[in-house]
Structure 1
């Protein structure tokens, strides 16, 4: 992984659950969202969507699919032959488009862009985005995959012996966002990278050890206020952020955290080794990742003569 890839993969702010107030990830003014779309859990309709079904249809979804509210752009079209009046202005409930799809274990992750603009066509998109970014706490939106079922079968659950419907083949064309999830095992939509999306859009993870070679480009003289004076605890002994950062980078270089540690691995290490609470550890890891990104930018500026 080169420096440009590391810079692109490292968000300015990292959200671990509800521990941090996250600043939305913006790329060239795009309004980006990140979500776990499916995970093969049994939903409230007693159905399981196999990851393979979504993977086989991922290209179709990226080319023709959309993001909307409650699947209204799919189910809202009038059908006079069946006496269905439809949903007024159903097309305006389309609020965005998918940009990328990634798979990790049984989970399917999606990166999407929310439309922006003025007028009736952008109203639902603007309201959705504002509900995630302009109120505290952010509104909770849950994703649900939509499209045409091409093949399914009724099977017995190996654990409960209950009957369930397994969806094996789909034409995936939609993700609908709802306040009431069909699959309660799927987490809410995020405005910062989550899961495998944090890990450089791949299962192998971000090469933190290589990023450390760039240096941090941060010293205490650059900080002000409480950030310059803040101390953390190390099993009862005060420790400054810079000492913690050095110990964390040393652990990464030695491979103490595994081959490709993720954000949660870094937080767990800080809680176990440095005696921090999870909130403190998450804050330190967030700052640590920002330092890595800043160091890479400084090194690229030096190389280019900037």
Structure 2
């Protein structure tokens, strides 16, 4: 039995797991990352199609100089006289992945207590502290460098095809221009993971100690494809943590070893094994921290 299992086994029966693990996401999750499909080649409500090739060619510029905001206010605000436009900047991109016609982004949200962090805190809390989580949809922004009119082969309508851009922004919105996109996620799970089906890499095979949110490159946006149902899958780590804590409180988990918790998460929550291992490891770490904090009080 390893140290985490010993800590778990040593907890008295009368202590509630659920109460021990109550905490706000911003205080325990370290860096705050979100994941989204930023664009595909569907025709948006403005009759435009942005080619993935155009975004791929500008991805390095976006990663170096780009930002994440709400409704493109950091771009539009100064043009309409908004004095607080920069308070709507909520983060920056850390990774971009192109798959065919789809463009995926991993972004880090800002943290802090001042006015410049208020919108970032609001977005994060709305995605992780509400049940169900709030829906935020991405929209790419920047400068169009080349555009041509073409005939859509399906609708036979004229479509403006954007094939060269200076990509500098993604705006999160409740009412997106491109309605073909899924909403942003606080973990690469659910809709995001499903949209990655067919090209994702198998990650985290042997390790239970790496936080998915800290990965970069292929591992950052890669999550083993899901072939199971989505109805009972936790929408975030914090949803998973509360549900697992409740299951432990109710003695629904037969084996309270690390492997037993992973098996329960795979079977009951429809998580892929690598994601279940990551979140169980994180759960045990949170539990250990909670035990230490209680012993110091």
Normalising TM by the smaller chain, what interval? 0.5 to 0.7
The separation in 2 between residues aligned to 1:176 and 1:102, in whole angstroms, is 18
SS in 1 for 2:107: strand
- Residue-by-residue CA offset, 1:147-173 (whole Å, 9 max, x unaligned): 000000000011121110100000000
The separation in 2 between residues aligned to 1:282 and 1:42, in whole angstroms, is 39
Question: By how many angstroms is 1:43 displaced?
Answer: 0.6
Are 1:172 and 2:170 an aligned pair? no
**C-alpha RMSD of matched pairs (Å):** 3.9
Structure with max Cα Rg: 1
Contact (CA 8 Å) 2:36, 2:182: kept in 1 or not? Answer: yes
In structure 2, what is the equivalent of residue 160 of structure 1? 155
- Residue-by-residue CA offset, 1:51-96 (whole Å, 9 max, x unaligned): 0000000000000000001000001114xxxxxx512311111110
Question: By how many angstroms is 1:101 displaced?
Answer: 0.4
In structure 2, what is the equivalent of residue 304 of structure 1? none
Contact (CA 8 Å) 2:266, 2:272: kept in 1 or not? Answer: no
The separation in 2 between residues aligned to 1:283 and 1:116, in whole angstroms, is 30
Cα pair distance change 1:226/1:25, threshold 3 Å: farther
Contact (CA 8 Å) 2:266, 2:276: kept in 1 or not? Answer: no
- Residue-by-residue CA offset, 1:9-34 (whole Å, 9 max, x unaligned): xxxxxxxxxxxxxx979997111100
In structure 2, what is the equivalent of residue 228 of structure 1? 253
**How many residue pairs are counted as aligned between the two chains?**
216
Question: By how many angstroms is 1:292 displaced?
Answer: 7.4
Match of 1:290 among 254, 268, 276: 276
Unaligned runs of at least 5 residues, structure 2: 1-23, 208-247, 282-297
Q: Counterparts of 1:17-36 in structure 2 under 5 Å?
A: 29-36=30-37
SS in 1 for 2:87: helix
Question: By how many angstroms is 1:224 displaced?
Answer: 6.9
SS in 1 for 2:171: strand
- Residue-by-residue CA offset, 1:114-162 (whole Å, 9 max, x unaligned): 1111121111111111111222221111000000000000000111211
Contact (CA 8 Å) 2:135, 2:183: kept in 1 or not? Answer: yes
Match of 1:120 among 111, 115, 119: 115
Question: By how many angstroms is 1:106 displaced?
Answer: 1.3
SS in 2 for 1:32: strand
The separation in 2 between residues aligned to 1:126 and 1:48, in whole angstroms, is 32
TM-score, normalising length from structure 2? Answer: 0.62
Contact (CA 8 Å) 1:76, 1:90: kept in 2 or not? Answer: yes
TM-score, normalising length from structure 1? Answer: 0.60
Q: Counterparts of 1:32-47 in structure 2 under 5 Å?
A: 32-47=33-48
Contact (CA 8 Å) 1:102, 1:196: kept in 2 or not? Answer: no
Cα pair distance change 1:154/1:112, threshold 3 Å: same
Are 1:192 and 2:192 an aligned pair? no
The separation in 2 between residues aligned to 1:38 and 1:138, in whole angstroms, is 21
In structure 2, what is the equivalent of residue 269 of structure 1? none
In structure 2, what is the equivalent of residue 145 of structure 1? 140
Question: By how many angstroms is 1:288 displaced?
Answer: 6.7
Match of 2:105 among 104, 110, 116: 110
